[in-house]
Amino acid sequence: MGSGRIFISPGVARILTFAAFALVLLVSAAAAYFFNEDMNKAKWQSDAWMNPVITQKEERAMQWVRENTVEREVFVTDIFGGEHLMGETLREGTEGGDWAIVPEVVPRMSDVNEFFKTSDSAKAHEIAKKYGANFALIPDRQLFAGFEWLSPDRSKFSNSDYFEMVYQDGEMQIFEIK
Amino acid sequence: MGYQSNLKQSTHSDNAKILLTYVAKHKTKFFLLLAIILSLNTHWMVLREWHMPTYGNTMIHIASARHVVEHGEYPLIDYSYGGGIANLYVPHYRMLVATTSILTGFSLDFTSRMLVLLFAILLPLGFFLLTRRLFDENTAVFAALFSILPGEMLIYTVRPLPQALGLILLPIAFHAFLGRKQFLMFFLAFIITFTHQEAVAYLFGAVGVFLAFTVLHILWRLFVSKQFNHQIHSDLVRKSLFLLVLCISVYLLWQFIMIGHINVFELAQFKNHEGNTVSLDSYLLKTGNLVVSFSLLGLLISLSFLLRNLLSDVNNISAEMKGGIFVFFTFFASALSSFFILNGFSLSRNASFVSISFPIFLGPLEGTEIIFISIVVALFFVFVIKALFEKSKSFMKSDKIAHLFLLALFFAGFFAVKNDAVGIRVFMDRFLVYLQQPLIIFASLGANGIVEFVNSLRK
């Protein structure tokens, strides 16, 4: 007592030790629970970004592109199609890539968006030529040209005065622009 | 039998002791390994699909890398948007992918995914190194573990992107900045400048804010505490200035060579104000509850530490008054923080009713209950802080520079995320992942504060 220490009997000490041990276990379990919950939330958030968007038919079409066109040939593409095309074949899409110093980039996006949406062959042809494209890459998926996800109107390509289909694998099509 | 039983029991007890001693001796390595395994576990999804992820313009980097592989030179003309424009994007990541692919013979897709797994290993290690430099090994272990948790950090490091490399290199560069290896620091700053524009912008901002803090610290030392240490302060100012000049001049030289001018505000991202504002909800979702909550605690500990140091420098205030100011500030800040968390991460009263259902059921809470709980929490925090200062041998004895540096990282990140408030309005959401770097370290400081508090009670 003189030293200022509190005397605890062995029984009480055992109970206190057990309580401390249980508390540590409880806190550790709670920490592990919240850690696991946050980690799973992070995985869930990232999961959506893993989708490659492009299709396997699109990937197979790159073989034809390499064999039948020259490097830096321009294709009408959406953003994902253009970036896939440049990465796999060193060809260029009307869209896709770093837009930091691209002149008039927003009107370009608007035009390419219209190219995919319109059923007017002449209008689509004019847009393609405006951006120096000799081919159009129309994949078997929805397209994103900067404003909205859309299904391309394929009816415009039936006009043989402007377009000729040069590659087909189901709905994956490549058209030459005359 | 009795003797043999006792002998067996004793052997088991000895083995358990040996195991516990071994784990205790190697706990840092054990937790680091755990952090690396968990990081690999979260990043493993990059191998899941038949093709590498394409969100985030990943394939534009593959185009430049493929050009290097197929032509043996870096393309100065970009493949983007119909081509014909200069390849302004900085090239280090692309060169890394290309050279790794050439050296290993792997496809560019597989190489990119393997690099992601390498980044997954380096992510907790970088945070461990920086936090150990700033504080201590125990806090650093928490930082390694917490680096896995923010969703935004995973989103930007699980995709094969230059951002991922930049985010991995930044903590290592900060570690070098605070150490004595100046060549390593300048080398890493150079590498980061050529890795990603946002990463170098954050590096520049963080060192810039730190330089401002250092100057304020020098002024305080000169005019208030009269304890100016010429060598430490001039070294910090010199390093910061060199780093700022290096980053800005290297990047602007690159931009000038590529496009003939140095006006970054002429770039489409600035002109079109690319990026979204960061709402409180998205901040919470993308940072995670554990890092958000513990980082607030860490921030309070850091601010308390600096306040106590500032007060100790002032001579014309009595010790009682200093104690009073310290307790008042600590109480007020922690009550406000507690209220903010319990009130659904909002300061406007009754913004939302929080229901605590784990580990005990409390709620839904109403405004008055939240205020009452916040007062209790704040009183407890004052007790914790005082116990940490008075009883912990190492925890609150870290260098002031460490706390100033961490606050500089925080303010640079916060300003970048809220740059819409000053009219810049570019990439606010993209900078959230950079703000998460100091938040992870603050969270580890908060978590280790709790451990140290428990230890101090035990003692």
Residues of A in contact with B52 (CB under 8 A): 52
Q: Is the pLDDT of residue A103 over 70?
A: yes
What range does the domain containing B79 cover? 2-266
Residue B106 lies in a domain: yes
Task: Count the neighbouring beta carbons within 10 Å of the beta carbon of residue B291.
Answer: 27
CB contact under 8 A, A106 and B272: yes
- Give the model confidence (pLDDT) of A55-84 as tens digits: 999 999 999 999 999 999 999 999 999 999
| Confidence at residue B182, expressed as pLDDT on a 0 to 100 scale | 86
Four-CA torsion B12, B16, B21, B22, nearest 10 degrees: 100
| Confidence at residue A6, expressed as pLDDT on a 0 to 100 scale | 60
Of the candidates B142, B171, B334, B343, the one whose C-alpha atom is nearest the C-alpha of residue A35 is B142
- Give the model confidence (pLDDT) of B192-237 as tens digits: 999 999 999 999 999 999 999 999 988 888 887 777 677 777 888 9
May I ask the CATH class of domain A56-177? alpha beta
Instruction: Count how many residues are written for chain A.
Output: 178
- Give the model confidence (pLDDT) of A82-93 as tens digits: 999 999 999 999
Residue B134 sits in the same domain as residue B259: yes
Residue B276 lies in a domain: no
* Residue A164 sits at the chain B interface (C-beta within 8 Å): no
Q: Which residues pair with A92 in a beta bridge?
A: A74
- Give the model confidence (pLDDT) of A137-159 as tens digits: 999 999 999 899 999 999 999 99
* Residue A70 sits at the chain B interface (C-beta within 8 Å): no
Residues of A in contact with B267 (CB under 8 A): 100-101
The pTM (predicted TM-score) of the whole model is: 0.89
Q: How far is A112 from chain B (nearest CA, A)?
A: 11
Residues of A in contact with B55 (CB under 8 A): 49, 51, 53
Q: Pick from B238, B266, B294: which residue ends a domain?
A: B266
CB contact under 8 A, B46 and A53: no
Q: How far is A120 from chain B (nearest CA, A)?
A: 23
Residue B190 sits in the same domain as residue B322: no
| Confidence at residue B228, expressed as pLDDT on a 0 to 100 scale | 66
Residue B205 sits in the same domain as residue B338: no
HEC assignment per residue over B350-384:
CCCCCCECCCCCECCCCHHHHHHHHHHHHHHHHHH
Q: Is the pLDDT of residue A111 over 80?
A: yes
Residue B262 sits in the same domain as residue B293: no
CB contact under 8 A, B63 and A80: no
Residue B279 lies in a domain: no
Residue B275 lies in a domain: no
Residue B290 sits in the same domain as residue B260: no
Contact B446, B295 (CB under 8 A): yes
Confidence of residue A16 (pLDDT cuts 50, 70, 90): confident
Residue B259 sits in the same domain as residue B290: no
Contact B67, B75 (CB under 8 A): yes
Task: Decide: residue A16, CB within 10 A, 0-12 exposed, 13-18 middle, 19+ buried.
Answer: exposed
Q: Which residue in the set A45, A86, A108 is minimally distant from B59, CB to CB?
A: A86
Q: Is the pLDDT of residue A132 over 80?
A: yes
Task: Identify the residue whose tokens are 């190219």.
Answer: A115
Q: What is the pLDDT along chain B (459 residues), one digit of tens a residue?
A: 455 656 565 666 677 778 778 877 889 999 999 999 999 999 999 999 999 999 999 999 999 999 999 999 999 999 999 988 999 999 999 999 999 999 999 999 999 999 999 999 999 999 999 999 999 999 999 999 999 999 999 999 999 999 999 999 999 999 999 998 889 999 999 999 999 999 999 999 999 999 999 999 888 888 877 776 777 778 889 999 999 999 999 999 999 999 999 998 888 888 888 888 888 888 888 999 899 989 988 999 999 888 888 888 887 788 888 888 889 999 999 998 888 877 766 777 565 555 555 445 555 677 788 888 889 989 988 888 888 888 776 666 678 889 999 999 999 999 999 898 888 888 899 999 999 999 999 999 999 988 888 877 766
Q: Pick from B200, B233, B266: which residue ends a domain?
A: B266
Q: Which residue in the set B48, B60, B289 is minimally distant from A98, CB to CB?
A: B60
Q: Round to whole Å and give the CA distance between B363 and B289.
A: 19
* Residue A46 sits at the chain B interface (C-beta within 8 Å): yes
Residue B414 sits in the same domain as residue B333: yes
Residue B250 sits in the same domain as residue B357: no
Instruction: Please name the amino acid found at residue A169.
Output: D
Residues of A in contact with B86 (CB under 8 A): 101
Q: Please report the residues numbered 83 through 102 in chain A whose beta carbons come closer than 8 angstroms to any beta carbon of chain B.
A: 83-84, 86-88, 90-102
Residue B364 sits in the same domain as residue B392: yes
Residue B278 lies in a domain: no
Residue B231 sits in the same domain as residue B377: no
Number of domains within chain B: 2
CB contact under 8 A, B57 and A97: yes
| Confidence at residue B355, expressed as pLDDT on a 0 to 100 scale | 52
* Residue A5 sits at the chain B interface (C-beta within 8 Å): no
Which ipTM value was assigned to this complex? 0.90
Residue B235 sits in the same domain as residue B337: no
Residue B251 sits in the same domain as residue B105: yes
| B59, B74, B356, B457, best to mutate vs chain A, most A CBs in 10 Å | B59
CB pairs under 8 A between A and B: 167
Contact A135, A69 (CB under 8 A): yes
